[in-house]
Amino acid sequence: MWWLDIDLHGHPAWLARGSEGQLIAVVPQHRLVVAVGSVPTKDYSIPDSDVSFLLTDAIYPALGP
């Protein structure tokens, strides 16, 4: 399923989240598409396999204001 969200800069973003850390994010205003495929290991400690921190902590800050 796709979800409408707002990115850190206030732009609309579409997100699709799957099991075990699968993520697709589309932010048209930034001309950005991110696809994450992951295979969690037993020491993977992120609740519910949520990898959206990659967007908020690494990718969005790199885009600038």
Structure tokens of 33? Answer: 């598409």
Query: pLDDT tens digit string along 35-52?
Result: 988 776 666 555 555 677
**What are the extents of the domains in the chain?**
18-63
Q: What is the tally of helices (H) and strands (E) in the chain?
A: 2, 4
Residue 49: per-residue pLDDT: 58
Cβ pair 2, 15 in contact under 8 A: yes
| Phi and psi, residue 36, nearest 5° | -125, 125
Residue 65: per-residue pLDDT: 65
Q: At residue 30, does pLDDT exceed 80?
A: yes
> What's this model's pTM, rounded to 2 decimal places?
0.68
